[in-house]
Amino acid sequence: MGNAEINTIAKNNQTALGHTKSIREILVGTLKGNMRQYTMILALLVIWGFFTIVTDGIFISSRNLSNLFLQCAATAIAACGMVLVMVAGHIDLSVGSFVGLTGAIAAQLMVKAHMGTIETIAITIGIGLLLGLFQGFWVAYGKVPAFIVTLAGLLAFRGGVIAITGGNSIAPMNDTFKAIGQGYLPKINPGLPFSDTSALIGVVFIICYLVFEINKRRSRIKYGFEVLPMSLQIAKMVGFSLLIALVIGIMASYMGIPYAILLLIAIIVIFTVIAEKSTFGRHIYAIGGNKEAARLSGININKVNLGIFVLMGLLSTIAGIVYTARLNAATGSAGTNMELDAIASAVIGGTSTLGGAGTIAGCIIGALVMGSLDNGMSLMNANVSAQYIVKGLILLLAVWFDIKFSKRS
Amino acid sequence: MSEYILEMKNITKEFPGVRALDDVTFKVKKGEIHALCGENGAGKSTLMKVLSGVYPTGTYTGEIIVKGSTQSYSGIKDSERAGIAIIYQELALVKQMSVCENIFLGNEKVKKTGLIDWDKSYAESQKVLNEVRLNINPNTKVLNLGIGQQQLVEIAKAIAKKAEILILDEPSAALTESETENLLQILKELKSKGVTCIYISHKLNEVFEIADNITILRDGKTVGTEPASEITENKVIAKMVGRELTQRFPRKEHKPGQVVMEVKNWNVHNPDLPELKLIDNASFKVRKGEILGIAGLMGAGRTELVMSIFGAYGTNVSGELILEGKKVSIKNPKQAIKSGISYVSEDRKRYGLVLGMDIKNNVTLSSLEAISKLTLINSNEVIKNTNQYVDDLRIKTPSIEQKASNLSGGNQQKVVLAKWLMTKPKILIMDEPTRGIDVGAKFEIYNIMNKLIDEGVCIIMISSELPEILGMSDRILVMHEGRLTKEFNWEEATQENILTYATGGM
């Protein structure tokens, strides 16, 4: 490092120590640091704007957006797991068949064995965890590349689906089970034009968020770290609160928050915490970034890899339950290609195909981009072939943009 | 035509926020060996990238003149055509391909039909291999060659391209003494055949052995060019760092205490070839508050010895390990860390850092449990601890959220060191602690080592640089082919007697 560089660094340090960073500098800094996320949000808004115009506003209606969120839910749940898998440098090609198989098992238990909703879900999740454990065992201890293990899973699990369903669809599911995929939070006062319970939940979310932010700020001050100037802090808190209000508001003004979305929100929060705040999550990023360094740092790589695939199995199972509940049936082709949507969501959201980088929040944006394209083009009556082509090109463009951008920085 | 085969005039190259080269002028005479010296970040590599066309004409200002004509390069191909060949520190050979394929890679000998003429390629590669005195079959796969031999293949490749100016960037960094000696000999022979050579190295003894002229860069500027015969090593160092370093090694008197670790009858077998014994019945002790140096040639088994103690080298390990009087069994790095052993590896980029992660995540990687509750990490503790190590070790960085890949070698090494210090080790194993870092940063690492000794840590230091072993160790173990052949007190050790035992002599 040359002296010139050291000098600029020294200056930077001075500004940091002297708290003389202007608001503009902070804004530019965050913008630069999170360019990827912001461009994807921007792209999502552009896509939404486009569909709103060509569908005469149908796209942006609260009814359609609620449906859009619901359609994305299963893929988004699977994509959360895919982020962890890909950050560790693996891939999971079995998601679609996994979703189909766990859905078929749930339907079989409910329709043929006449089990209740709770037993059905419990047994299905148990089986899903075992299947995840099975794949994880081969990856972690069998040292077979995840690509091969999950390719085998893709084939074998699909065989399982066909064996269970026998080529027919198994239906119908219980009402309570169905609600997971298509139900909305009930209103307390049915006379209102909006969902009061959903609005209440929105308020709770906002309060939780504000408490979290204030606690974080307090704790940083206690440690003597730099915090945002008060004006920016308030702007940030107001901005995020409005965003939460907007998203919940859209759903509340239609039928309310779908149960599937509540489930998804819970999964997003839990997996963001796992990825960013837990030792397990840090170990995943370290393994994906440099496996040898991770090993020498005292990380038990086999155990972490096993854990990742067990979690992936859990999420695929939940996705399978949501998917089956939404369709109210299990079919032989259920979930086909869902792994590709999950991978695409993760990659569009900034997950590196080489491992080491990726965020849960990013993959949710990616899932929304993919879901919006499906939904918007269906509204436009575009045929399936066009949908595939456009989705393919968007994926290509997103990754190209990322490579070009990250090279420059 | 001037006497210079190469003239780089007033080269200025800027990166966002940094002026890497500032009006640099660099002239090389035909048929000489010209050494380029400077600390890391002084601009040596940038200058060579400008010369080889990695940074095309137009991305810098200034002029490059080769054999009297001004050059304009849009890529490496253009500079190769002008007779310039560069051999990087990280060798650019395709390991799965044969020597012959590598020599003509991108430059294939083809028949009229457009297909590769393998017979001609084979014959010609044999010819160039002879020139570098490498007696191997051109069909050997590169992965079967040692680093020293690979280096020679690179040189053969350059000769095959009819290179007139050969640039070597830290060629001896991974070579043993004898391999280095051989390399220098070959460069002298090439010089007698009229090849001009630019030699970049931190190792001044090599520089003085072969260079005719020495150009020194500091902070992106030319400090001066001097004939090697008219300048001393200390003068060169002074010019490189911009001040006189009164001593290169800050030796302090240590007061070794009781034995902290004892290794008895330690044997390690190659994990792939179990009949091959890498460590043969090694026994030694380490005391509190001392630096134990381990010297030896490359391949003597030093790294295998310490890695196996750290639980990171295969499973075919036997022997007794006694820590503070208690026999322990360490099967993996996690157990080693828990027992108070840390290992700073010899290759920080491959084994030490997660380059894509920022400083704070690298520093805390091995100590996450200590700052977590119910596996949830306290991010404030992460920042607090990292800030403290950044201050203590004087890591130069704009922010602890800087990616490790953006730091200089010396600062990267300090980040690795911080990671291990945070585990509060009793025994710190340092494998080549100052490899590839500049003189100033080396000195700081030595000071940190002394400070750790004062705090009661004991250090095991492996080094291939004998002056470092002699300058820092309290006791010195010498290894030869997997055996500990001699133990010296630092006062009685000399380069000569260490080398005698390291090469198997008595």
Record: contact A12-B343, CB cut-off 8 A:
no
Better pLDDT: A341 or A193: A341
Pairwise CB contact (< 8 Å): B333 & A13? no
Q: Return the ∠ at Cα A77 (arms to A74 and A83), rounded to 5°.
A: 135
Nearest to A280 among B41, B375, B410 (CB): B375
**Which residues span the domain enclosing B354?**
288-313+326-503
Q: What is the pTM of this model?
A: 0.81
Interface check for B398 against chain A (CB to CB < 8 A): the answer is yes
- Distance CA(B443)–CA(B378), nearest Å, equals 34
Which residues of B are less than 8 Å from A277 in CB distance?
A: 376-377, 379
Nearest to B18 among A5, A12, A356 (CB): A5
Q: How does pLDDT run across B67-123, given as a tens digit for each residue?
A: 988 999 988 888 988 999 998 877 788 888 999 999 998 888 888 888 989 999 999
Task: Report pLDDT for A19.
Answer: 45
Q: What is the per-residue pLDDT for A3?
A: 42
Average of per-residue pLDDT across B366-378? 93
Closest-CA distance of chain A to residue B376, Å = 4
Is the residue at B247 inside a domain? no
- Could you tell me if B294 and B211 lie in one domain? no
For residue B334, give the nearest of A16, A273, A298 by CB distance: A298
Same domain, B349 and B215: no
Chain B residue nearest residue A354, CA to CA: B356
Is B416 in a helix, a strand, or coil? helix
**Residues B277-317: tens digit of each pLDDT:** 889 999 999 999 999 999 987 778 899 999 999 999 888 89
The class level of CATH for A25-183+258-407 reads mainly alpha
Q: Identify whether B283 is part of a domain.
A: no
Which residue among B241, B262, B279 closes a domain?
Answer: B241
Given a cut of 50, whether residue B184 has pLDDT beyond it is yes
Inform me whether the pLDDT recorded for B344 exceeds 70: yes
CB B475 within 8 A of CB B290: yes
The region that residue A103 occupies, defined by phi over 0 for left and psi between -120 and 50 for alpha, beta otherwise, is: alpha
The rounded mean pLDDT for chain B is 89
B412 and B489 share one domain: yes
pLDDT over 60 at A407, yes or no: no
Q: How many domains does chain B have?
A: 2
User: Does B481 lie in the same domain as B354?
Assistant: yes
More confident residue, B16 or B443: B443
pLDDT digits (tens, 9 = 90+) for A139-159: 999 999 999 999 999 999 999
Tell which of B203, B219, B241 closes a domain.
B241
Q: Decide if B120 is inside a domain.
A: yes
Using a CB-CB distance cutoff of 8 angstroms, which residues of chain A are in contact with residue B380? 219-220, 222-223, 225
Report the alpha-carbon distance of residue B506 to residue B504 in Å, rounded. Answer: 7
Cβ-proximal residues to B104 (8 Å cutoff; 6+ apart), any chain: B121, B124, B125, B160
The 3-state DSSP class for residue B252 equals: coil
Task: Give chain B's end-to-end CA distance (angstroms, integer).
Answer: 56
Q: Name the pLDDT band for B145 (thresholds 50, 70, 90).
A: confident
Residues of A with CB under 8 A from a CB of B: 1-6, 8-9, 12-13, 16, 219-220, 222-223, 225, 273, 277-280, 282-283, 285-286, 289-290, 292-300, 356-357
The ipTM value here is: 0.82
Q: What is the pLDDT of residue B465?
A: 82
Greatest distance between any 2 Cα atoms in chain A: 76
Distance from CA of A307 to the nearest CA of B (A): 14
Least confident of A30-39, A48-57, A117-126, A379-388: A30-39
> Which of helix, strand or coil describes residue B487?
strand
Q: Which of B376, B390, B406, B413 should be substituted to probe chain A, the one whose Cβ sees the most A Cβ atoms within 10 Å?
A: B376
* Residue A405 predicted with pLDDT over 80: no
Residue with the bigger pLDDT between B427 and A35: it is B427
Is there a domain that residue B150 lies in? yes
Tell me which H or E stretch contains A92. none
A221 exposure class (CB count in 10 Å sphere: 0-12, 13-18, 19+): exposed
Q: How far is A225 from chain B (nearest CA, A)?
A: 8
Question: How many residue pairs bridge chain A and chain B with CB atoms within 8 Å of each other?
Answer: 115
Residue B180: which CATH number? 3.40.50.300
Whether residues B43 and A2 touch (CB distance < 8 A) is answered with yes
Distance, CA of A59 to CA of A68 (rounded, Å) = 9
Cβ contacts (< 8 Å) between A295 and chain B: which residues? Answer: 312, 333
Domain assignment of residue B263, yes or no:
no
Domain limits, chain A: 25-183+258-407
What's the gap in Å between the CA of A126 and the closest CA on chain B? 24
Hey, which residues 199-238 in chain B have their CB within 8 Å of chain A?
Answer: 219-220
The helix or strand, by DSSP H or E, that contains position B264, with its residue range, turns out to be: strand B259-269
| Set of chain A residues whose Cβ sits within 8 Å of the Cβ of B350 | 290, 292-293
Q: Which chain B residues contact residue A222 at CB under 8 A?
A: 380
Assigned domain for B318 exists:
no
Whether cis (ω within 30° of 0) applies to the bond prior to B256 is no
**Has residue B71 been placed in a domain?**
yes
- Buried/exposed code over B340-368 (b: 16+ C-beta within 10 A; e: otherwise): bbbbbbbbbbebbbbbbbbbbbbbbbbbb
pLDDT at B365 over 80: yes
Answer yes or no: do A282 and B42 touch at CB < 8 A: no
**Sign, Cα dihedral of A40, A45, A47, A48:** positive
pLDDT at residue A10, as a whole number: 39
pLDDT band at A193 (very low <50, low <70, confident <90, very high): confident
pLDDT value at position B42?
80
In a shared domain, residues B62 and B195: yes
- Closest to B420 (Cα-Cα) out of B456, B381, B459, B465: B459
Measure B291 CA to nearest chain A CA, in Å. 22
Nearest chain A alpha carbon to B220: A2
pLDDT tens for A217-246 read: 998 888 888 888 888 899 999 999 999 999
Q: pLDDT tens-digit profile of A249-274?
A: 999 999 999 999 999 999 999 999 99
A327-341, A354-368, B175-189: which has the minimum mean pLDDT? B175-189
Q: What confidence tier does A13 reach under pLDDT thresholds 50, 70, 90? A: very low
Domain boundary among B241, B256, B279: B241
For chain B, give the percent of residues with pLDDT over 90: 55
Pick from A12, A16, A278: which is nearest to B376 by CB? Answer: A278
Q: Out of A225, A279, A356, name the one closest to residue B383 (CB).
A: A225
Out of B19, B352, B379, whose CB is closest to A4? Answer: B19
Cβ atoms of A182 and A263 within 8 Å: the answer is: no
Region B344-353: what's the mean pLDDT? 92
Contacts of B396 in chain A (CB under 8 A): 1, 6, 9
d(CA B38, CA B21): 13
B161 vs chain A: nearest CA distance in angstroms? Answer: 31
Cα A248 to Cα A231: distance, rounded to the nearest angstrom: 26
CA distances from B335 to A4, A161, A285, B311, B365 (A): 43, 44, 21, 8, 15
Encoded tokens for A244: 């939460």
Mean pLDDT (whole number) for A23-48: 81
Between B312, B399, B410, which is nearest A296 by CB?
B312
Q: Please check whether residues B212 and B309 belong to one and the same domain.
A: no
pLDDT value at residue B203: 79
pLDDT (mean) for B416-434? 95
pLDDT value, residue A21: 66
